[in-house]
Amino acid sequence: MSDATQYPLEPNPEQVRLMGEAVLAFVEDFLRDLPELPAFDPARSAALAGALREPAPELGSPLSGLLSTLHAAARDGAASAGPGYLAYVPGGGLYAAALADFLTAAMNKYVTVWQLAPACAQIEATAVRWLCDLFGYPEEARGILTSGGSMANFSAIVTARVARLGESFLDGTVYVTDQTHASCAKAALLAGLPRAHVRAVPAGPDLGMAPDALARMIADDRRAGLRPFLVIGSAGTTNTGAIDPLAELAAVAGKAGAWFHVDAAYGGPFQLTERGRARLRGIELADSITLDPHKALFLPYGTGALLVRDGALLRQAHHMDAAYLQDLGDEDDIPNFTEYSPELTRDFRGLRLWLPIKLHGLDAFRQALDEKLDLAELVHDTLRKNGFEVPWRPSLTAVAFRWVPEEGDADAFNAELLRRVTARGRALLSSTRIDGRYMIRVCVVSHRTHRDRVEELLDIVSETCAALRAEHLA
């Protein structure tokens, strides 16, 4: 047993218990208060952040005082774990996943080389296999858990580049749309592709990539001496949740010999639902798929995933021998995750996916996702009924809308409408531009968002819009 006086970094069992109880009480209070916290409260942010700029202390401080500081920090800014966080593509952060992270940090297992923690590495491999099964991927498929969709897209593009272009790749071309997540174009640049070789394919009225336009652009680039090697489809864009015609894009990419990657960071988990499977038809044909379980599987931020149909190609793109690893054997039934990823050292991410699924079962996630699809339909139908312009019926759970005033600047009107709705503190929405128009977005993803909060939001939007219109007419 350690002596906490002589070794302050090693608390004794009694101290461990007391510290744990204090942290648990903090979490209980936070989760209890979360539904009533302001969805966004920027007023105190600058002062609080400024107070936290300080030199590193030589001596320690009591945990109780530090938790008081964190109490304020947890309530600062956006309540991103709460039911009113309806901006961007939110994820609520399951309590079970928080427990998993606590266990992960305490065990501190090194899982990227399987021999050092076979059971934990297998837990992660099993969780990745569950994701592969969701899309009907074969046994030879492999995947990695990443810090998020951006890193997953990066590894996907590197894998496609190596598999389709080899060592000489500067003449390769990539195909996206103006609705594709910006991380895809960014990842292509980081993977060494020239900026001009990331092509924006026109989208149709539904904001999905047009297969005919894609085929023409590929043919034109090939005639120009370039090598089209990668088509990136979207299974849920950030702007509206639009889903590209995945089966048709897979056919065009296959005919061209190009890799077909699907960015399903937002939409992928909806494959669990009947409606989701119908709308994501063709995703199973992808060579690789990006997922963000910290979105529609409700896990804490920092949980992304990349799945690759031919796992050997993922390993080929990332594996490199090192003499200091020679004591560790090759992978057997359990993969060495370091051979499939840019990362050699990182946390045991698999437990935060494995534990909630084992604890709650897939059906609990399916029911929650079906509820979010229903709530998005409610938002769409209610806003249209109340006179708002809502151009696109939601494929997933994002709805873009605006009010078109009889006269005056529609963009300025809607920007002020968004500001006033946010100022009410019950919901945080976001804005975007689509086809040059300023649009307000609501995106229902958090597992803590239910019908009562959505109906309250719709009332706030309608009341605020009516008041703003009256001011303009006065």
3-12, 44-53, 235-244, 364-373: least confident range: 44-53
Rounding to the nearest 10 degrees, give the CA dihedral for residues 80, 85, 88, 92: 50
| Statement: residue 327 has pLDDT above 80 | no
Q: What is the pLDDT of residue 3?
A: 58
Q: What is the pLDDT of residue 217?
A: 98
| Statement: residue 366 has pLDDT above 90 | yes
Q: What is the pLDDT of residue 4?
A: 60
Give dist(CA 419, CA 424) in Å, integer: 9
**Confidence grade of residue 44 (pLDDT, cut at 50, 70, 90):** low
Give dist(CA 430, CA 468) in Å, integer: 18
For the segment 405-423, the average pLDDT, to the nearest whole number, is: 96
Q: Cα–Cα distances in Å, from 105 out to 48, 101, 110, 234?
A: 28, 6, 11, 34
Q: DSSP letters of 356-380? A: HHHHH-HHHHHHHHHHHHHHHHHHH
| Statement: residue 319 has pLDDT above 60 | yes
42-46, 352-356, 386-390: least confident range: 42-46
For the segment 371-393, the average pLDDT, to the nearest whole number, is: 98
For the segment 439-459, the average pLDDT, to the nearest whole number, is: 98
What is the rounded average pLDDT for all residues in the chain?
A: 95
Give dist(CA 359, CA 418) in Å, integer: 39
Higher pLDDT, 473 or 139: 139
For the segment 292-318, the average pLDDT, to the nearest whole number, is: 97
Give dist(CA 411, CA 433) in Å, integer: 10
Q: What is the pLDDT of residue 338?
A: 93
**Confidence grade of residue 284 (pLDDT, cut at 50, 70, 90):** very high
Q: What is the pLDDT of residue 144?
A: 98
**Confidence grade of residue 46 (pLDDT, cut at 50, 70, 90):** low
Provide the b/e sequence for 353-385 (b: ≥16 CB within 10 Å). bbbbbeeeeeeebbebbbbbbebbbbbbebbee
Please choose, from the candidates 83, 156, 200, the residue with its C-alpha nearest in 3D space to the C-alpha of residue 305: 156
Please choose, from the candidates 421, 405, 413, 404, the residue with its C-alpha nearest in 3D space to the C-alpha of residue 462: 421
**Confidence grade of residue 89 (pLDDT, cut at 50, 70, 90):** very high
For the segment 146-154, the average pLDDT, to the nearest whole number, is: 96
3-state secondary structure 60-97: CCCHHHHHHHHHHHHCCEECCCCCCECCCCCCCCCHHH
Q: What is the pLDDT of residue 111?
A: 95
Q: What is the pLDDT of residue 311?
A: 97
For the segment 28-54, the average pLDDT, to the nearest whole number, is: 86
**Confidence grade of residue 2 (pLDDT, cut at 50, 70, 90):** low
Give dist(CA 215, CA 89) in Å, integer: 31
| Statement: residue 283 has pLDDT above 90 | yes
* Burial of residue 119, with CB atoms counted within 10 A of its CB: 0-12 exposed, 13-18 middle, 19 or more buried: exposed
**Confidence grade of residue 45 (pLDDT, cut at 50, 70, 90):** low
Q: What is the pLDDT of residue 358?
A: 98
Residues 231-246 pLDDT 10s = 999 999 999 999 999 9
Name the percent of the chain lying above pLDDT 70: 98
CA angle (75, 81, 83) in 5-degree steps: 105
| Statement: residue 330 has pLDDT above 90 | no
Contact 39, 425 (CB under 8 A): yes
For residue 289, the SS3 value is strand
2-6, 173-177, 434-438, 462-466: least confident range: 2-6
Q: What is the pLDDT of residue 292?
A: 97
Q: Which residues contact 128 (CB under 8 A, 6 or more apart)?
A: 142, 143, 144, 145, 305, 307, 350
Higher pLDDT, 48 or 278: 278
Q: What is the pLDDT of residue 91?
A: 83
| Statement: residue 324 has pLDDT above 90 | no
Contact 428, 438 (CB under 8 A): no
